[in-house]
Chains A and B, each alone.
Chain A
Amino acid sequence: MHELSIAQGILDIIRENIPQGDGAKVKVVRLRIGAMAGVVPDSLDFCFSAITQGTPMERAALEIEHIPLTAHCLGCGKDSEIEPTLFACPLCGGLDLTVLTGRELQVREIEIDDMSGANS
């Protein structure tokens, strides 16, 4: 259950990036999460909604861009998507792989409703 500390990390990063004092509400949080990042999206969603209650991020939707595990095969020299439980090049069966993507855990952008302050 390290999703709680990840949710806290996301919250901290957003706090540093939202405009202060104008009642802006965060509507969408866009994340980039790799297949090998070890994050369960449902748990993250649950933790994030729990810790954002009473903050400008309350009820914000988490939109996750899933990044597949891809690797460069040193055997055949080609890049491909890798099955995490096999960890072999799907083209030549080679095991000598350099991981290219799949470890991402990033906050990409947020969408803000800046009018909520003016309307209230």
Chain B
Amino acid sequence: MSVITIERKVLEKNDEIAHQNRALFARHGTFVCNVVSSPGSGKTSILERTLEHLAGRLKVAVIEGDVQTDLDAQRVAKFNVPAVQIITAGGCHLEANLVREALKNLDLSATQLLVIENVGNLVCPANYDLGEAMKIVVASTTEGDDKPLKYPGMFRNASVLIINKIDLVPYLNCSPAQLRENALRINPSLVVFETSCTTGEGIGPWCDWLQRQCAPAATP
């Protein structure tokens, strides 16, 4: 019997590639956000409203991550933005190398904002750095106000919380104030927005904030 000391991080390969992605984004001045949530919280709907709102204001590109189908990329392509679909074929999260592959199909020099929509899952994507500037977590009112307490890892790692489906509150046993309080308890530095993709409520302030994070377009 002999013991071999290893002392290595299991995700070090992913972290290395994420680091390379981040350097690439910095070189092109592209602001990158990684949007995470449970399935059905409205990530793609928020993205659609966001693309509508930012049309003509920002050069945006999208990477869609899904377990199957390119339905989300089709939804996004209607807004005339470059969109690449990653199909993970069972994988429950995006990894940095999948994003690196997808980047081959995008022109970063013509992209001020890159939105990566992760696979719907509040557990695994928390631990995989893709090279993004920040994670944006979406929690919808239909999921209840205790999600941050049940999935603290995700809420701790995010910089922004979007509370979506705010128009449904009158019909639900969910308090957006409680949801916000629970999230801020896990992560006091979260920037919080409340939105409805049906009524458009809150989309303006969210998009204005997002635009302020992005570098101005380089003058040709």
Chain A residues packing against B (C-beta within 8 Å): 1-2, 5-6, 9-10, 12-14, 17-18, 27, 31, 36-38, 84-88, 95-96, 99, 105-115
Of all chain B residues, the one with the shortest Cβ separation from A39 is: B127
Interface residues on B, range: 20 to 34
Q: How far is the CA of A10 from the CA of B10 in the complex (A)?
A: 6
Contact partner of A108 among B6, B128, B184, CB < 8 A? B6
B126 contacts the other chain (CB 8 A): yes
Q: Are A2 and B3 in contact (CB under 8 A)?
A: no
Q: Which residues of B contact A109 (CB under 8 A)?
A: 3-7
Most chain B CB neighbours (cut-off 10 Å) among A5, A12, A27, A86: A5
Known: A87-B186, A95-B188. 14 other contacts (CB 8 A): A2-B93, A2-B128, A6-B10, A17-B6, A31-B10, A84-B152, A85-B149, A86-B185, A88-B185, A107-B6, A109-B5, A109-B7, A111-B2, A112-B2
CB proximity of B9 to chain A, nearest CB, Å: 5
Q: How far is the CA of A113 from the CA of B185 in the complex (A)?
A: 48
Q: Which residues of A contact B8 (CB under 8 A)?
A: 13, 106-107
CB proximity of A94 to chain B, nearest CB, Å: 10
Once A36-B153, A85-B149, A85-B152 are accepted as A-B contacts, the answer to whether A14 and B6 lie under 8 Å apart by CB is: yes
Contact partner of B124 among A2, A9, A18, CB < 8 A? A2
Once A38-B126, A84-B152, A87-B185 are accepted as A-B contacts, the answer to whether A105 and B10 lie under 8 Å apart by CB is: yes
Q: Are B91 and A5 in contact (CB under 8 A)?
A: yes
List, sorted by A's number, 27 A–B pairs whose CB atoms are closer than 8 Å: A1-B92, A1-B124, A2-B91, A2-B123, A2-B127, A10-B10, A12-B13, A17-B6, A36-B153, A36-B156, A37-B127, A38-B123, A38-B124, A38-B153, A84-B153, A85-B152, A87-B152, A87-B185, A105-B9, A106-B10, A107-B10, A108-B5, A108-B7, A109-B3, A109-B7, A112-B1, A114-B1
Q: Are B127 and A38 in contact (CB under 8 A)?
A: yes
Of all chain A residues, the one with the shortest Cβ separation from B90 is: A1
Once A105-B127, A109-B5 are accepted as A-B contacts, the answer to whether A5 and B156 lie under 8 Å apart by CB is: no
B95 contacts the other chain (CB 8 A): yes
Q: Which residues of B contact A86 (CB under 8 A)?
A: 185
Interface residues of B in 1-54 (CB under 8 A from A): 1-11, 13-14
Q: How far is the CA of A2 from the CA of B2 in the complex (A)?
A: 31
Q: How far is the CA of A108 from the CA of B5 in the complex (A)?
A: 6
